Structure formats: C-alpha cells, structure tokens
Copies of this chain bind each other. A is one copy, B any other.
Amino acid sequence: MTVRRPYAAALEWLRAAGLRSTRQRLALTRLLFAGTDRHVTVNALHKEARANNVRVTLATVYNTLNQFTEAGLLREVVVDASCTYFDTNASHHHHFFCEEDRYLVDIPGEELKVAKHPHPPPERRSRR
C-alpha cells in the first residue's frame, strides 16, 4: 500500500503541523509530492529546485526536509555515513540499495516479512 500524499494533501499536512506556507516550502513540496514516490538527497533536491528556477538555499533545503520528516510527511533513510535519503513514502517499508549506482529501490507491498523478532533488550525495559 502506497501512502504517497498528493500535493494538496501535503499542504494540508504542513498547515496542520504549524508550518507556514512559504514560497520555498511550497516549491519543495510540489517537487516532492507532485508525482510518484521519490527518494531524494538534500543535494539532489537542491539542484533540482534551482534547475526549476526556485531560489532556495542548501541550508533551507536541509531545514525543510528535517521539518517535513519531523512532521511525518517524509521518512529518513540512512544509507551510509555520508548519504541520507528522504522518502516521500512515509509508510513502514524496506529498501534495496544499489551500492554501485547509489540509489534506493522500494521493496513493494508485503514482499518482505519479518517472521519473528525479539523483544527490546531487557536493560531498556527495566531501567528508569
């Protein structure tokens, strides 16, 4: 089940999260949510924005994607120490990562199932 939110829904979402509808956020939201699900890096989105004549700073893209993630609109996918992706599909799912070409591929639907997993470690449950 894909939970991609179309552009309009994303805007609602941001308003509900108390984020102002600035020019930059609107533009980035459109880039992210106008089409199908995407996996973007901060850098790639920044370049894409500028290519689309959106005047926005790299720092703002960082801030924005972090805020969107905090609001639950995006999902952060940490690949390695020097590359984080943001996934417009915020539902719980897994990925393949192509190390050679450095891109993510969704593992669709129920194709990956965790049959059994342990409880959180006891030290966490008993402390505090």
Contact = CB atoms under 8 A, between A and B. Distances in A.
**Copies of this chain, whole number:** 2
A59 to B, nearest CB: 16
Contact of A111 (B78, B96, B112, B116): B116
Contacts of A113: 114-117
A interface majority secondary structure: strand
A114 to B, nearest CB: 6
Interface stretch (A6-14, A22-30, A44-52, A80-88): A80-88
Interface residues of A, number: 24
Interface string A103-128: 00101101111111110110010000
B121 A117 contact: no
A25 to B, nearest CB: 22
